[in-house]
Amino acid sequence: MEKLKSKLIIAVDGYSSTGKSTVAKIIANKLDIVYIDTGAMYRVITLLALRNNLIDNKTIDEASLKKIINDIKIDFRYNKDLAFSEVYLNDECVEKEIRSMRVADNVSAIAALDFVREILVKEQRSMSRGNSVIMDGRDIGSVVFPHADIKFFLTAPPEVRALRRYKELIEKGDNVSYEEVKENVISRDYIDTHREHSPLKQCDDAIIIDNSNMSVAEEVDTMLKYIYKII
């Protein structure tokens, strides 16, 4: 492994279902640095809202969510058997539940709320203190870490991303259709890029990677080549 800077910040942004978390986890393991899945954090808040019946047909009871959001604890715990960190809500592992279509259908609306983003961005910055980190999400390079050492932006056509996501869900035993997943991907793209607060956008200094025809290994190798140039 190359010698790292005393503190290295790697930002990975991009559209939904571009495999940001997958490549970020692998790179974190290869460089022995901290990986933070910000998308999982927004999914946890979405799950919290759903469990408390605060979402009705995409309409969110914001006042009630504000009352309970500060009383929860979100943390990541490394699972040796799975070789990655799972996300916990108040000491309960919710890794599988937050990946459901029910959560996916509502997470972009939750992530568009300014008070949710304010709380989680503060938490994300806190998690990085004193550590070299790779963090993935929608606004890492633009908002959370605008001065990151290196920024990546992952993209692929919605049809490609929907097919990948569909296969993942089917393998997990979820009963979903490709059209349902595609509709979700397109809807999330629109909400993520048009929301008022911290919309998804490609930073001018980000390295764009279209992974439509790339394997995960090829994508990781490409990203590591860029990273090794700065360490």
117-150 pLDDT tens trace = 999 999 999 988 888 999 999 999 999 999 999 9
The matching CATH number, chosen from 3.50.50.60, 3.20.20.140, 3.40.50.300, 3.20.20.70, for 9-228 is: 3.40.50.300
Percent of the chain past pLDDT 70, that is, above it, reads: 97
Q: H-type helices in the chain, by residue range?
A: 20-31, 38-51, 62-69, 101-111, 114-128, 158-171, 178-194, 216-228
Model confidence pLDDT, tens digit, residues 47-72? 999 999 999 988 999 999 999 999 99
Q: How far is CA 95 from CA 43, 67, 137, in A?
A: 10, 24, 17
C-alpha span between 231 and 209 (Å, rounded): 20
Model confidence pLDDT, tens digit, residues 144-169? 999 999 999 999 999 999 999 999 99
Domain extents for the chain? 9-228
Read off φ and ψ for residue 24, nearest 5 degrees: -65, -40
**Residue 89 corresponds to which amino acid?**
L
Q: Name the band, by pLDDT with cuts 50, 70 and 90, for residue 34.
A: confident
Helix-helix angle 178-194:101-111, to 10 degrees: 10
Q: Does an H or E element contain 87, and which?
A: strand 84-89
C-alpha span between 207 and 151 (Å, rounded): 6
**Which of 84, 66, 129, 108 lies closest to 197 in space, CA to CA?**
108
Rounded to 5 degrees, what angle do the CA atoms 154, 160, 162 make? 100
Predicted TM-score (pTM) of this structure: 0.85
Model confidence pLDDT, tens digit, residues 80-108? 888 778 899 999 999 999 999 999 999 99
Report, as an integer, the average pLDDT of 12-16.
Answer: 96
The per-residue pLDDT for 113 is 95
Report, as an integer, the average pLDDT of 192-220.
Answer: 95
Instruction: Name 151's bridge partners.
Output: 11
Whole-number mean pLDDT of the chain?
93
Instruction: Name 150's bridge partners.
Output: 10
Contact 158, 189 (CB under 8 A): yes
Chain position carrying tokens 């890794």: 95
Residues 6+ apart with CB under 8 A from 67: none
The per-residue pLDDT for 129 is 86
* Beta pairing, strands 55-56 & 150-155: unpaired
